[in-house]
Amino acid sequence: MPVDRPRESLDPLPAGLLRQPLDYLMADHHRQRVLCRLADALAATSGSDPDLARTVGAFISRDMAIHVIDEEQDLFPLLRRRASLEDAIDAVLGRLAAEHSSGSALAARIGQALDEAALTGRPLDRSTRLDLAEFARSEREHLALENAVVMPLARLRLTAGDLRALSLRMAARRGLLIDDPGPTAA
């Protein structure tokens, strides 16, 4: 029996949005919040929904993994270079990087269980449902910190050149070519 799902979508974002990389990251944060609601829906049922398990598992293993790389390899280093001492961003970025690292093991475990559920059509076991609920809780907290601290600081501190480079690297990571975004406003 399919799980009652939120109506919002995990559909890919428009490639053109990569020209505004901070807007793209914020839109991706919204998709991750949708993912949390879907994870909660899966966690709350003892039924089976192979399609939803496949969708959630694929998003965690593909889209979220790429998003983490965007932040770890590009956004966070740019912020470290541009932030002033009074921004005191190192502790926040360190915490977020640690959460990315610790969350990857949980995401891998969940992804494997969701893949199995999608293939077999069997309901998720209690342990996986608990993992999904913890994943959603942790991810919401993580997103709140990024949205409240990191993204406003990025809009304040990153230069047009930083944003152009971020845009091009994010597009390349997704196998996309976008025109040179030119001067990108934060």
pLDDT digits over 105-125, tens only? 999 999 999 999 999 999 999
Average pLDDT taken over every residue of the chain: 92
Q: Report the C-alpha dihedral over residues 139, 142, 146, 149, rounded to 10 degrees.
A: 150
What integer pLDDT is reported at residue 186 of this predicted model? 47
d(CA 118, CA 65) in angstroms, rounded, equals 20
pLDDT digits over 147-168, tens only? 999 999 999 999 999 999 999 9
Percent of the chain with pLDDT over 90: 88
Domain 17-173 fold is: Four Helix Bundle (Hemerythrin (Met), subunit A) (1.20.120)
Averaged pLDDT for residues 124-139: 97
Q: How confident is residue 7, by pLDDT bands cut at 50, 70 and 90?
A: low
Residue 158's contacts (CB-CB under 8 Å, 6 or more residues apart) are: 22, 78, 79, 82, 166, 186
